[in-house]
Amino acid sequence: MAGQGAHRYLAAMADATALAATLPSRARKPDWIRVKAPVGAAFNETRRLMRELNLNTVCEEAACPNIGECWTKKHATVMILGDVCTRACAFCNVKTGMPRAVDLAEPQHVADAAARLGLEHIVVTSVDRDDLPDGGAGQFVKVIEALRRTTPGTTIEILTPDFRNKHEAAVEAIVAARPDVYNHNLETVPRLYPTIRPGARYYASLRLLEGVKRLDPSIFTKSGIMLGLGEERMEVHQVMDDMRSAGIDFLTMGQYLQPTPRHAKVMDFVSPQAFDAYAAVARAKGFLLVASSPLTRSSYHAGDDFEKLRAARQAHLARA
């Protein structure tokens, strides 16, 4: 149930605190990724609305460090198709198991939340649903359609799983529904997939994003990776090249934070200066937009970034 999300978030924070106490001082979180605890009337109002509409959020389920800032601004990333994932990625705090049946009322609940929060831009993601014939693609389509009916002025960004071993029609159906941004994260470098993202395939994810761009070049494509998992600098540069070959417009890079002692360990806390250096390289490689900082997450400042994307495309077209 969505009401369990807050409890899971608090439990994850407690686990992270316990973990920090066991780490040597050099491995503890540096000052540049410390955030304030979520408090305030606006934060509580956002949480109450999510509970009222029985909606899950990746903000809670993934223990996002930016939840206080985003929810205070009434920005929440809705996680559809339940709160149980059929995968068990080493970096992710969402619980694994057999999911419940798809909630048929969920698409309208998402649209109602967007209307009541007054969202100009919404991000919708999901758990992996390998148990469903289409991987849950149909639910994404229904959510997009409900949003278009209820809040036609809201721009829509989706962050989907890879739909591995599903028919290409899954992605085709979502593209036909025309979200404004199609995001799918590569998460890490190919060498680390067997341990960090064992249920996925790096080149399958690249082909998904390439396919979106081929089907509808007007849709912005976006992908992100986490740093601090043991990747090498040149491996990150190669991922950038692969993304650009797939036509990806927007790259996000953020620091991996270990949710609990059971998850993959943080191998390195990447400095803000290193994130800036990666961003400079990415811009030189031709991305329309790059967001790179320790606290960057896929949906962090997504609305502002969407406006920057549109402006960057217009400037690019003007130069062409």
Q: 243-260: buried (b, 16+ CB within 10 Å) or exposed (e) per residue?
A: beebebbbbbbbbbbbbe
- Whether the per-residue pLDDT at 4 is higher than 70: the answer is no
The 10 Å Cβ neighbour count of residue 117 is 20
Mean local confidence (pLDDT), 252-257: 96
Please, what are the domains in the chain?
4-9+35-319 (3.20.20.70)
| pLDDT, tens only, 259-294 | 899 999 999 999 999 999 999 999 999 999 999 999
Task: Measure CA of the first residue to CA of the last residue in the chain; give whole Å.
Answer: 50
pLDDT score, position 65: 65
| pLDDT, tens only, 32-78 | 776 665 666 777 777 787 788 888 876 665 566 656 666 566 677 88
Structure token digits, residue 167: 């028919």
Question: What is the three-class DSSP state of 285?
Answer: coil
- Whether the per-residue pLDDT at 307 is higher than 80: the answer is yes
